[in-house]
């Protein structure tokens, strides 16, 4: 089984579906946002507050490039990680199955909630989410092997559908 990489906007379920897929198939898993948090010892919101978005992107870039160079089998990337050209090149070079998870605004907003742990969409979530999602859409699509909607579905359901798609592609 080659590597599986999850990309997509905030709230699309990259972490929950990635984790569920790794569990279902018995594969190793890394969530790069969780790695940024554990390596820096700070929450994403704290990193944005102290270093700004550019400081966060530098940390994220290092963590994501290291994850892509490792042999972790299932990777969930932060929604904006694909903005970096070197990350885009590394994803293409990794020959993994890249799964772009899509989600409608209504479902995304209910998942994002008001927890304040997503600084880019913390103020005016609806407007900000639409803005970042539509501007990144061409990048997500250009990298994707599979595009999968997670609207109204449980992470385990989406993971199971993906496991079957990947399984049949490898038969
Ligand atoms: C971001 C998405 C977040 C996190 C950071 C920036 C983005 O991850 O990396 O807040 O630029 O879209 P999720 O996609 O898991 O919310």
CATH number at 31 reads: 3.40.50.300
Which residue among 8, 13, 78 is best mutated to probe the pocket of ligand 1, counting the most ligand atoms within 8 A of its Cβ?
78
68-117 tens-digit pLDDT: 999 999 999 999 999 999 999 999 999 899 999 999 999 999 888 766 67
* 75 CA → ligand 1 middle, Å: 14
Average pLDDT over all residues of the chain: 94
Residue identifier of the C-alpha nearest atom 10 of ligand 1: 118
Going by C-beta distance under 8 Å and a sequence separation of 6 or more, which residues neighbour residue 55?
47, 48
> Could you list the residue range(s) of the whole structural domain that residue 61 is in?
4-169
DSSP, res 123: S
> How many domains in the chain?
1
pTM of the complete model: 0.96
Taking the CA atoms of residue 24, residue 5, residue 79 and residue 156 in that order, the dihedral angle to the nearest 10 degrees is -20
Q: Tell me the CA distances in angstroms from 98 to 48, 52, 71, 73, 128, one per residue in order.
A: 27, 28, 15, 12, 25
> Which whole number is the average pLDDT over 132-138?
97
């Amino acid at each position: 089984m080659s590597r599986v990489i999850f990309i997509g906007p905030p709230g699309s379920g990259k972490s929950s579906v990635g984790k569920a897929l790794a569990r279902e198939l018995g594969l190793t898993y890394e969530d790069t946002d969780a790695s940024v948090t554990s390596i820096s010892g700070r929450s994403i919101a704290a990193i944005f507050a102290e270093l700004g978005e550019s400081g966060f992107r530098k940390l994220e870039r290092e963590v994501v490039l290291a994850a892509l160079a490792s042999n972790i089998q299932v990777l969930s990337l932060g929604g904006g990680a694909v903005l970096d050209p070197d990350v885009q090149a590394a994803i293409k070079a990794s020959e993994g199955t890249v799964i772009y998870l899509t989600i409608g605004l209504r479902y995304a907003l209910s998942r994002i909630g008001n927890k304040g742990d997503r600084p880019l969409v913390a103020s005016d979530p609806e407007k900000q989410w639409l803005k970042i999602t539509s501007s990144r859409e061409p990048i997500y699509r250009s990298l994707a092997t599979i595009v999968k909607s997670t609207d109204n579905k449980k992470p385990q359901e989406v993971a199971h559908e993906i496991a079957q798609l990947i399984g049949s592609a490898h038969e």
